[in-house]
């Protein structure tokens, strides 16, 4: 990490002297502390309006009774329209591209400078929840609206763009990230030929959607990496870590790599009463032993992997390695058992080491039991690391947001791994990316039970706002310093990086 955290007591002095000189001005305007607090936290926009928008979006569904919004479905088109209105309401210039992604952009002071992108997805799984994806879109728009009402939007030093991606869950075409992959330039031309359940190809669906779309127009969607400075996504955690830590926000260090395996165990079918135990080749018992092996290995990789020269691999595996048996089936009859393994880890070499060890030990078990085993590798995706600079800025932003909501407490913002894929994974091919996770109840997602507390929605909006201010510091340091008197907490920390000083202060930031 190129940046280093430091504490600068002298800045404290500077800020407090400004504070004492400007507090009299403040008194003239008669704004009390409580009022300043309310204004500073933008509860009406970042919490109340954001929550009501999430509820409104959560009602836009293709079916009655539960939430389902898939790529370019009628409900998705209605959702796009509303999201676009919210973007316009936040002072952004809006458009919808040929793929159905909704964009809202503000040029700031230099329209030709590289833009900072922020967004998430607007599609859902079948019977999904109203926060997955939507929270990232709504909190980004709310933060922009605060910049608009405080007249900061026009003073941004470079363009900022909020994007609502059309497809992340991949329900309709079983192919995830259609929207972000198109912008990142990694959507293969062959994707246009995949078809949905009704037999319509992606190409046909896109043609229907925008009549003037050609194959070229999809290529033209790809962003020029030189005109982008980064991508940031706010998303629900979809796991229980933040809830158990009692903290609403966490910073993502990376998205795990993944391997899917299919294991077939073939034994022989025999009569349950007549084949003696010594002569059995029972695939079911063998599969059970293999699954228990998998669990043991993933719980305690250090017990299974040797690491003579490099123990960092095992260290990094520790805590990030997760393994799951998805489906298990007996086919045909009882002589063959097949099951799938989903294995994820932050460290790609570590994942390979686990796969190597796992398959060697599995084959040994199969030999011992005289069953024949086939392990097929069905899918691989490498891990994606978040950018360290964006992550440390998000960490400061999260800390600032948390302190605004919870008081000046001392807390470490958790650093998490994302086990699930996100648009950020596709965007990482275009630009550096960072992610912020928001606590969700019970870690539950992809379900109507998915829930984020109103105050956590607020914290997410405050963090997005703090992030914009750290990242795209508006021109004019004087107003920032003038507002230093509003500080309830003292200077938190600063990052000194290549001659630029990023200051994170307690209340106003």
Per CB under 6 A, does 393 bind ligand NAG?
A: no
Query: Whole-number minimum distance, CB 132 to Zn ion, in Å?
Result: 4
Per CB under 5 A, does 129 bind Zn ion?
A: no
Tokens of 451: 């829930």
Q: Exposure of 1 by Cβ count < 10 A (0-12 exposed, 13-18 middle, 19+ buried)?
A: exposed
d(CA 253, CA 385): 6
Q: Are 401 and 468 in contact (CB under 8 A)?
A: no
Interface with ligand NAG by CB under 6 A: which range of 97-105, 107-115, 161-169, 217-225? Answer: 107-115
- CB closer to ligand NAG, 2 vs 28: 2
Q: How far apart are the first and last CA of the chain?
A: 23
* Rg of the chain on CA atoms, in Å: 26
Per CB under 6 A, does 266 bind ligand NAG?
A: yes
d(CA 161, CA 182): 16
Query: Whole-number minimum distance, CB 107 to ligand NAG, in Å?
Result: 10
Query: Whole-number minimum distance, CB 189 to ligand NAG, in Å?
Result: 4
| Binding pattern for the stretch 191-210 against ligand NAG, x by CB under 6 A and - elsewhere | -xx-----------------
- CB closer to ligand NAG, 47 vs 229: 229
Per CB under 6 A, does 264 bind ligand NAG?
A: yes
Query: Whole-number minimum distance, CB 158 to ligand NAG, in Å?
Result: 7
Neighbour-count burial for 84-117, b at 16+ CB within 10 Å, e otherwise: bebbeebbbebebbbbbbbbbbbbbeeeebbbbb
Q: Quickly count: other Cβ atoms within 10 Å of residue 264's Cβ.
A: 17
Query: CB under 5 to 8 A by kind: which of Zn ion, ligand NAG, none does 498 bind?
Result: ligand NAG
Per CB under 6 A, does 189 bind ligand NAG?
A: yes
Query: Whole-number minimum distance, CB 16 to ligand NAG, in Å?
Result: 31
Query: Whole-number minimum distance, CB 39 to ligand NAG, in Å?
Result: 31
Q: Where are the beta strands (DSSP E) in 130-237?
A: 160-165, 228-236
Kindly state the helix (H) or strand (E) to which residue 295 belongs, with its residue range: helix 283-299
Residues 109-128 that bind ligand NAG (CB under 6 A): 110, 112-113
Tokens of 91: 């002072």
Query: Whole-number minimum distance, CB 88 to ligand NAG, in Å?
Result: 25
Tokens of 140: 């980004």
Q: Under DSSP, is residue 116 helix (H, G, I), strand (E, B) or coil?
A: strand
Q: Which residues contact 203 (CB under 8 A, 6 or more apart)?
A: 192, 193
Q: Quickly count: other Cβ atoms within 10 Å of residue 133's Cβ.
A: 29
Query: CB under 5 to 8 A by kind: which of ligand NAG, Zn ion, none does 174 bind?
Result: none
Per CB under 5 A, does 347 bind Zn ion?
A: no
Query: Whole-number minimum distance, CB 255 to Zn ion, in Å?
Result: 12
Per CB under 6 A, does 335 bind ligand NAG?
A: yes
Note the residue count of the chain: 509
Q: Exposure of 153 by Cβ count < 10 A (0-12 exposed, 13-18 middle, 19+ buried)?
A: buried
Tokens of 220: 């033209």
Q: Quickly count: other Cβ atoms within 10 Å of residue 287's Cβ.
A: 26
Query: CB under 5 to 8 A by kind: which of ligand NAG, Zn ion, none does 73 bind?
Result: none
Q: Under DSSP, is residue 506 helix (H, G, I), strand (E, B) or coil?
A: coil
d(CA 324, CA 298): 9
d(CA 202, CA 468): 36
Query: CB under 5 to 8 A by kind: which of Zn ion, ligand NAG, none does 132 bind?
Result: Zn ion
Query: CB under 5 to 8 A by kind: which of ligand NAG, Zn ion, none does 133 bind?
Result: Zn ion
Query: CB under 5 to 8 A by kind: which of Zn ion, ligand NAG, none does 266 bind?
Result: ligand NAG
- CB closer to Zn ion, 18 vs 171: 171
Query: Whole-number minimum distance, CB 190 to ligand NAG, in Å?
Result: 4
Per CB under 5 A, does 132 bind Zn ion?
A: yes
- CB closer to Zn ion, 108 vs 128: 128
Query: Whole-number minimum distance, CB 503 to ligand NAG, in Å?
Result: 18
Per CB under 5 A, does 450 bind Zn ion?
A: no
Interface residue list for ligand NAG (CB under 6 A): 110, 112-113, 189-190, 192-193, 264, 266, 332, 335-336, 498
Interface residue list for Zn ion (CB under 5 A): 132-133
């Amino acid at each position: 990490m190129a940046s280093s955290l430091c504490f600068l007591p002298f800045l404290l002095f500077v800020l407090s002297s400004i504070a004492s000189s400007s507090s009299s001005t403040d008194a003239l305007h008669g704004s009390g502390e409580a009022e300043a607090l309310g204004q500073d936290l933008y509860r009406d926009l970042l919490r109340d309006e954001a929550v009501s928008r999430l509820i409104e979006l959560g009602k836009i569904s293709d079916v009655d009774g539960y939430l389902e919004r898939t790529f370019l479905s009628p409900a998705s088109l209605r959702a796009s329209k509303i999201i676009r209105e919210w973007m316009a309401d936040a002072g952004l210039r809006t458009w919808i591209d040929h793929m159905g992604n909704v964009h809202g952009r503000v040029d700031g002071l230099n329209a030709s400078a590289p833009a900072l992108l922020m967004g998430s997805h607007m599609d859902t799984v079948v019977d999904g929840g109203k926060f997955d994806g939507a929270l990232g879109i709504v909190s980004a728009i709310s933060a922009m609206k605060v910049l608009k009402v405080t007249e900061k939007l026009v003073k941004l030093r470079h363009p900022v763009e909020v994007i609502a991606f059309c497809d992340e869950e991949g329900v309709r075409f079983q192919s995830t990230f259609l929207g972000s992959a198109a912008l990142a330039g990694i959507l293969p031309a062959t994707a246009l030929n995949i078809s949905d359940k009704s037999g319509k190809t992606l190409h046909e669906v896109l043609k229907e959607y925008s009549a003037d779309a050609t194959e070229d127009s999809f290529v033209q969607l790809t962003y020029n990496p030189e005109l982008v400075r980064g991508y940031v996504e706010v998303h629900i955690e979809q796991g229980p870590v933040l809830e158990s830590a009692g903290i609403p926000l966490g910073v993502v260090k990376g998205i795990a790599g993944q391997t899917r395996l299919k294991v077939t165990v073939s034994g022989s079918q025999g009569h349950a009463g007549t084949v003696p135990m010594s002569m059995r080749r029972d695939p079911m018992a063998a599969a059970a032993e293999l699954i228990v092996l998998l669990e043991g290995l993933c719980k305690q990789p250090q017990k299974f992997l040797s690491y003579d020269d490099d123990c960092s691999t095992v260290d990094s595996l520790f805590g990030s390695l997760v393994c799951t048996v998805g489906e298990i089936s007996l086919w045909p009859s009882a002589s063959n058992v097949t099951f799938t393994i989903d294995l994820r880890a932050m460290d790609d070499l570590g994942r390979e080491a686990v796969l190597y060890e796992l398959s060697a030990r599995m084959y040994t078990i199969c030999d011992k039991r005289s069953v024949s085993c086939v392990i097929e590798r069905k899918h691989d995706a490498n891990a994606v690391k978040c950018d360290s600079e964006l992550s440390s800025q998000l960490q400061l932003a999260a800390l600032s947001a948390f302190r605004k909501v919870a008081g000046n407490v001392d807390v470490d913002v958790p650093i998490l791994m994302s086990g699930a894929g996100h648009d950020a994974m596709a965007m990482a091919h275009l630009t550096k990316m960072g992610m912020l996770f928001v606590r969700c109840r019970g870690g539950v997602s992809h379900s109507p039970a998915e829930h984020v507390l109103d105050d956590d929605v607020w914290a997410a909006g405050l963090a997005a706002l703090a992030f914009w201010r750290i990242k795209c510091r508006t021109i004019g340091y004087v107003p920032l310093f003038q507002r230093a008197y509003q500080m309830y907490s003292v200077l938190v920390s600063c990052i000194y990086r290549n001659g630029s000083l990023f200051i994170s202060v307690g209340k106003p930031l």
